[in-house]
Amino acid sequence: MNTPETTLFDPQEARRLAALYGTEGYLFETVSPRFALTGTLSPYDFFAIVIWKANRTKTKIVRGLASIDRTVEALMRDVSRASTPADKVETLLQVPGIGLAMASAILTVCYPDQFTVLDYRAWDTLHSNEVPDLPSHYPSTTAEYLQYCTACRDLALRIDLSLRDLDRALWAKSWEDDLLGLTRDMR
Q: How far is CA 33 from the centre of its chain?
A: 14
Report the candidate in 144, 92, 98 with the shortest Cα–Cα distance to residue 123: 144
CB 49 within 8 Å of CB 27: yes
What length is written for the chain?
A: 187
Confidence of residue 15 (pLDDT cuts 50, 70, 90): confident
Summarize the confidence of residues 164-177 as an average pLDDT: 91
Question: What sign has the CA pseudo-torsion 90, 92, 98, 104?
Answer: negative
If you count DSSP H runs as helices and E runs as strands, how many of each does the chain have, helices first? 12, 0
Question: What whole-number percentage of the chain has pLDDT above 90?
Answer: 76
Measured distance CA(183)–CA(181) in Å, rounded: 6
The mean-pLDDT minimum among 3-12, 52-61, 150-159 falls in: 3-12
Single-letter code of the amino acid located at 46: F
Quick check: 86 and 115 in contact, CB under 8 A?
no
How do residues 78-134 score in pLDDT, each as one tens digit?
A: 999 999 999 999 999 999 999 999 999 999 999 999 999 999 999 999 999 889 999
Q: Are 92 and 119 in contact (CB under 8 A)?
A: no
Lowest mean pLDDT among 57-66, 73-82, 147-156, 166-175: 166-175
**Predicted pLDDT of residue 187:** 72
pTM of the model: 0.89
Output the CA–CA distances (angstroms, integers) from residue 165 to 16, 112, 153, in the order listed: 24, 10, 11
User: Average pLDDT in the 56-67 region?
Assistant: 97
pLDDT at residue 10 above 60? yes
pLDDT single digits (tens) 130-167: 899 999 999 999 999 999 999 999 999 999 999 999 99
DSSP string, 118-138: --HHHHHHHHHTT-TT--SSS
Could you say which DSSP state residue 68 is in? T
